[in-house]
Every structure is written in structure tokens, then in C-alpha cells.
Structure 1
């Protein structure tokens, strides 16, 4: 009898173990090899697909450097690249099929990506490992060399329905760049990126397009391998949080976009450290849909050549209820630039929108030290530059508790400068040139409130401190 009981007990234990739900799908179990050279796209994708079919869990990339082409995430999958592991992009441009392609403001065909997610829910990219796009291998010269080496023909994109009817792109020629984004989330809900290291994309690093309820927490981005290498682009997306993130990018660090008529709303950014060669915190320039209810706070901006904070409505966006507060900037060119213009580009073959608006912008508790004069792209620095157009004023802007330290050096000739309107051109302060004021130059504004705003100079400046034109 004792033997029978022992046997039955053993059967129960075996049954319980065999019924245990699987929670981790290791890509090595699917044949993935972390030797930097084996192409693992199919193996990794199969692990993701099986995890999804089983109801969800963790797909694990660990112990090695895994080469791959485009990987598409699925519902309820935590794609985890473990500490010490690297997911490395293939250098073959044909390994990256388009994911929801579009034509951007410059006239470039976009859509290829390394990691993609389309219409998914509850997806996470996590782990303390690295996702590396090898962006330096996707320059025109290196793509040409790769094509020759592999003996392949580049896949030609289908542009049907993508080219705008108005076709007012920066370049009149539609160009294919074959430069995949690193991570691209499209029309997805409840998505997160946690702790991951994102490195060297061939184009944008992390793109949220028409997503709802997303979170970025504790990630680290380095993006200097190619052109147009934005770090994070929030594009026609809603209900998002970006926090505790470190960025060093060649282009915009955190950029709110709308490459569709749909809005970007209800976003909070805080506790981030940002460095950029173009703009640290930027709204636009691709700006068809509205930007509303957005807060950026408690961030450190440093060594940024293209502007600390830029709020730009160029293509019809109505920008409203924006709060920027508790920001420290060091070695930054043009701390704050706000510009409404009448460019009115069109994306995704949508109808052209009327001129937009910028209203109810509050900027407070800002301390900034502007870059030294010899390192400026505009010969004489200005702390704040706000401008609407003669026919379209900015709305209500409030700035309070501001301290800006500037290099000075403006001449009597600079004091006589007449700043061009450039109402339909790319809305960038470098295209408008120097202003006749070193502290604040403002024009075409319905209501500008200034409280406890101070400007200090490291050297003499012949320009006025503040100039307001058509400002109430």
C-alpha cells in the first residue's frame, strides 16, 4: 500500500510540473546564435510569435551579440535584452522591410525599422542590454559598398498613396534613404521601454506614431551615427510619460511631432538629462496635428547647439496648454525659441490645414547659461526669441522666474538688424539670424507676461536688453 501511495504522489508531482505555465522564451532555444555574424531574424521572430500565441510572457535575448533584421513585437510580449547582451542590426538594407511607410517633411521615404510594433497592446522592451542599429553602415557610401559586397539589388519602395497632393516638401525630389529607425511603435497601446540602452540608429531612435498610453523609463540613448538621428519622437500620440532618461543625440533629443492630422496630447516629460546637436526639447517642425496638455519639468539640458526649448507650429498645429518648468541649461545656444509660421506642409496625403496657433504657454523656473560667442552659429546670442507673423499672432505666453546668462559681444551693427519675417520657410532661428536684442526679442504676440526675468552678460553687448514689436 505504501508503494502505491508513493507512486500516486509521484504522478501528482510530475503532473503539476508538466502543467506549469511557460513564462520565458529564450531565443537560443529557437536556434539564435550570439556570435555577431549569424542572421537570427527568423529565430527571434518565431520566439516572439510563440510567446504571443501562448498568451504572453518574456522573450529573452541573453549571453551574446545577436545579428538580426526587422523584428515585429506582438501583444503581451516583454522583449528583454539582458544586461551584457546586444541585439545588433544587420547591415543589409533589404533585411528591413517598411513598417507603415510615409514621406517626411524633407521628402524622404521613411518606415523601415529594426524593432517594430503595429497595432499591438501590452508590449514591453526591457532589460539592461543594448539595441544597436549600426547606423554608420547606412550612409549612402556604405550602403553602396554593402550592395556591391553582397551582390544584391536594393528593394524599391512602393510610393503609392504616400506622396502628398500639394507636395510642398523641403526638397522637391522624393528620396529613398534605406535608413531604418531603431524602434518604431505604430498605433499601439500600453507600450513601455524600461532600462534599455539604445545605440546608433541609422535614422530616428524611438518613434511613437499614433500610440496611446506609453511609458519610457530609465533608458539611455546615444545617437550620432547618421543624419536625422532624433532620440525620441512622440508623433500624433497621447497619454505618455518619459522619465529618468539620458539622451545624447545628433538631432532633436525629445521631439513632439504630428506627421498626421491627429494630435499629440497629454504627455509628461520629467527627470531627464538631455544633450543635442539640434534641439533638446522641441515641438515640431512636422506639425499638422495639435499639441495640447504637455508638461516638461525637472530636466537638465547641456551642450546643445540647436536650442534648448523650441515650440514651433509650422503646418497647422494648434499648440495649447504647454508647461515648461524647473529646467537648468548649460552651454546651450538659444535657450527658448517660440515660432508660429505659415509653412503648411502636408503628410500622409491629408488635406492641407490652415495656419495654426500657439497659446497658453507657461515657462517658469529656468536657469540657463548660453554658449560662448565663438561657438555660436548665430554671431550674436539672444536668450528668448518669440515670433508670430504679421497676419497670425502668438496668443498668451507667460515667462516667470528666469535667469539667463549670455556671452554678449553684440555690436552697434547688430543693434540695427531688421529680423526677416520668413513666414513660409523652415521655422529655425538660424534662418532668421541675429536679433537687435540680447535678452528677449518678441513680436506679433497678443499677450506676453514677464515676471522676475533677468539677463546677465559676460561681456559688453551694444544691443538693447528687451525689444517688443506688436506685443501686448
Structure 2
């Protein structure tokens, strides 16, 4: 039998110059998780198939379009003029020179590279009116809402690069208050996203099939904007920039294919400040990045509940290499907005270490989300300290009240290899599945956990293998 995994990989190989190797993809999925060499060869094939961005040598300095680097003058129009001129002339680089530039939303065009000089800093306005209503997404549900701070929709060959700073200026006196948490400045009587007419109304609209064009939020609804969002784009690069103080999710490729996120530093500790959230996206590379966040460092998504099933685009071929994870709810996380499914995730050569990092690898879903999560491969991980556990696989994730439904999820084929952990927190592995849908085919090979409170917490788990794995200096036996 040829599984969906096998078929997807076979298509990739046939569509690239590496089609001669397609025969290797006819193996059953259970053998994929045990065949380490071929697994990582497939990752290399995906890497080689991803097109690179290329831009004209023409440079369009925003100062030539009226920008003022005083940190006070609103430069939205100057950015817009420079980007449109660049695009109209065939593309090139829109240069943000040294200095501080205040602006509202920046909307990118095809063939444009927004490039920040080393000492450039873009300060984003704190006035919601400077972010027009656009087609975007909020926690896995599509919506007409405030524009992301940097936004591109239906664009090809587009980039944000340079060693400057992107500063959302969010803190507990502005955007973060909307989260409705006392930890971020909210007080009783303040409006927030949690009010009855806000977040849950959006989710209800999606469940009832209300068209996205009619899900109009924005003013008075308190759903914070994403920072950088590429919506239905292709061939994208984000490189070298430092991103700080985000209102909400930080790097959000949605329905976007062939994106490279390289040498980016994220330092933002606000509510829902995920570092990078690929959603409904394919062929995504996140490499040489540093994440220090208030939520998940990397969270791979695929839509929430009915909206995710409506879109039905799985996230796949997600590659994470040579990254550093500091604070966060998880290092590399899959979910919880995951209804369309996730497969073919490769994580290698990463460092995760902080007393404020809850887990290293985490999968979270529930029976409202559903989704098939399979073929998750991790190797060469150095973990210093995590609070809760090294690997957590949870089919009963519940954070916003009742999260149960009729869509029982699937989690299978997860492999950790060559992982060294100093302090694993409470458990080495925490896996919680359904009797009718157990967490299945989990492999830990050459994993060394020096210190952890308990070996594992397992419920409805089928076929978990410990190969040359030692926890608290004792070799661990497999569990059928």
C-alpha cells in the first residue's frame, strides 16, 4: 500500500532533478521512520528543490521618497511610494538607510527586497488606524482584520533582509493589553480579545461557513495583528533582521511555498509571541535563527477546526536547522491549530536551553482540531534545561474552555536521534492518545537525558522504541 506520505514525497522527487531516486519512496511509512539515512536524504532533496530569490541591482532609497529618520515622522507614504516605484521598474532593493523610521503597515510587492542597513530601525506605529483591514488570519482562522505590520499577498520573489531592527513597539501599555491578561497590563473593565463579541465570534463564524469576506473585524474587536505575514506567496526570503516587541505572532507564512528564513533573531516576550508559524505552507526552511519568545519558538500550524478543514492544505516539508531556542513554551512545536495536518518535518543541529523553555519538541491537538500529524524527524539536538519534558505528544490540548469534538487526531512516526539533555524537567516523554487512535511509532535513538524527575508518562501509546537511550544513567527498554 502506498501511503499519503509516500505519494507526496514521490511527487516531490518527480518534480525535481532528483526523480531518479523516486523508487526509494515506495516504502511503507513505518519503515520511513526507521530508515534514518534515507530520511535525511529526502530532506536534502527538498532543500535542493527550493528556488532562490533573485533581485535587480537597482536601489530605491526611501529617503528619496520623503522618508525622515527622526523616529517621529510617519513614513508610511514614503515606504509605499518606494515599493511601488521599485516594483513598476522591474524590482530591486528598497533601502532603509541608518536611522529610525516610524511607519504604519508596509505592503510588499513582487520582485522587491526590503533591505535594512545595519543601523536602520523601523518603528511601527501604535495607532491601529495605521494598519488597514486586509485578508489575514488570526489563530488559524481566516479573517478581515488589521494588516500585519509587514504584509505581502499573492506575491512572488519577495524578501525582507539586512541587519537592522524591526520594532513593533508592543508592550503592556498598548497592543499586549488586548490579550486580556493581567500579566500584560490588562485590568478589569478594559476591552480585550476575550470579550464575547470578539475571538469566539470569529471562530463561530468559521464553523458556520460564513465567507471570509464577511468576517470583518478590526476596530473594536481587539484582535492583534501579526508582525510579518506572507499570504499565498511563493519564493520568499527573510534574512539577517532582528525582530522585537511584536503585537502577536511574529513570522507567519500562510499558504506560502518555498520560503527561507535565515539568520533571523527574534526577541519578543509578549502574549502569543510565537517566533515563527508556518501555516498551510510547504517547503519552508528555518535556519541559523535565534528565538527568545513569550510563546512557542517555532509553531507549525495548519488551520483551526472547521476553517482548517475547509482550506485543507497540510503544512509539509518544514526544515529547521542550526537554530537556538531560549525562552518559550516549546522549542519546535506542531499545533494546536492543526486541522489540515502536518507531515515531513525535519529538525537538526539545534540548541535549546532555558529555565523558561517548557518543552523541546511538542505536538498539541485535540478532537476539535483533529488532523494527521506524521513523519516528524529530529536529530543532533543539544538541550540544556527544559521545565516540563523533552518530548510531549498531546491529543487533549485544552486552553480555551471546551476543546472536544468528533475529529479524533492522529499522531504517528516521530523520531528523536542523537539528543543530549542535561535537565529534562518532569518527564523524558509525555504522550497521551486515544484508545481508538493511539500515539503510534515513536522512536528515541541514542538519546541521553542526564536528569529528569520521571522516565515517562504514557497513555494509549503503541510501539514506542528506546534504542541506546539512557535516562538518569539507566538504559530504557522499549514499550509495545
**Bigger proportion of residues as helix:** 2
Aligned pairs for 1:148-159 within 5 A: none
The number of aligned residues is 383
TM-score (structure 2 length as normaliser)? 0.73
- Residue 126 of structure 1 corresponds to 161
Q: What whole-Å deviation, never above 9, does each CA across 1:67-95 have from its counterpart, x for those lacking one? A: 00011100000110110000110111111
- The change in CA–CA distance for 1:144 and 1:337 in structure 2 (over 3 A counts) is closer
Is 1:39 aligned to residue 74 of structure 2?
A: yes
Alpha-carbon offset, residue 312 of structure 1 = 2.5
- Residue 439 of structure 1 corresponds to 455
- Residue 8 of structure 2 corresponds to none
Alpha-carbon offset, residue 96 of structure 1 = 1.2
Is 1:228 aligned to residue 272 of structure 2?
A: yes
- Residue 378 of structure 2 corresponds to 324
Alpha-carbon offset, residue 25 of structure 1 = 0.7
2:459, 2:373 → 1: CA distance?
18
- The change in CA–CA distance for 1:117 and 1:387 in structure 2 (over 3 A counts) is same
1:118, 1:162 → 2: CA distance?
25
- Residue 99 of structure 1 corresponds to 134
- The change in CA–CA distance for 1:106 and 1:30 in structure 2 (over 3 A counts) is closer
Q: What whole-Å deviation, never above 9, does each CA across 1:33-69 have from its counterpart, x for those lacking one? A: 0100000001101110111111100000012100000
Is 1:139 aligned to residue 190 of structure 2?
A: no
2:442, 2:185 → 1: CA distance?
47
2:62, 2:284 → 1: CA distance?
30
1:319, 1:177 → 2: CA distance?
32
Is 1:305 aligned to residue 321 of structure 2?
A: no
- The change in CA–CA distance for 1:404 and 1:292 in structure 2 (over 3 A counts) is same
Instruction: Flag structure 2 segments of 5+ consecutive residues without an equivalent.
Output: 1-55, 179-183, 188-197, 210-216
- Residue 152 of structure 2 corresponds to 117
Farther off after superposition, 294-303 or 109-118: 109-118
C-alpha contact 1:383 1:406 (8 A) present in aligned 2: no
C-alpha contact 2:61 2:96 (8 A) present in aligned 1: yes
- Select which of 446, 452, 462 maps to 2:468: 452
Farther off after superposition, 442-451 or 120-129: 442-451
Q: What whole-Å deviation, never above 9, does each CA across 1:190-224 have from its counterpart, x for those lacking one? A: 00001111111111111010100000111111011
1:33, 1:187 → 2: CA distance?
32
1:143, 1:329 → 2: CA distance?
33
- Select which of 395, 399, 404 maps to 1:340: 395
Is 1:88 aligned to residue 123 of structure 2?
A: yes
Alpha-carbon offset, residue 355 of structure 1 = 1.8
Q: What whole-Å deviation, never above 9, does each CA across 1:375-396 have from its counterpart, x for those lacking one? A: x7xxxx1121112122221221
Alpha-carbon offset, residue 161 of structure 1 = 9.5
2:364, 2:223 → 1: CA distance?
28
1:74, 1:176 → 2: CA distance?
28
SS at match of 2:84: helix
- Residue 84 of structure 2 corresponds to 49
Larger Rg: 1
- The change in CA–CA distance for 1:386 and 1:182 in structure 2 (over 3 A counts) is same
2:159, 2:143 → 1: CA distance?
29
C-alpha contact 1:252 1:279 (8 A) present in aligned 2: yes
- The change in CA–CA distance for 1:22 and 1:211 in structure 2 (over 3 A counts) is closer
Alpha-carbon offset, residue 313 of structure 1 = 3.4
1:407, 1:446 → 2: CA distance?
23
TM-score (structure 1 length as normaliser)? 0.75
1:286, 1:37 → 2: CA distance?
38
C-alpha contact 1:313 1:319 (8 A) present in aligned 2: no
- Residue 319 of structure 2 corresponds to 268
- The alignment yields a C-alpha RMSD, in angstroms, of 3.1
Alpha-carbon offset, residue 397 of structure 1 = 1.3
SS at match of 1:308: strand
2:117, 2:130 → 1: CA distance?
24
SS at match of 1:51: helix
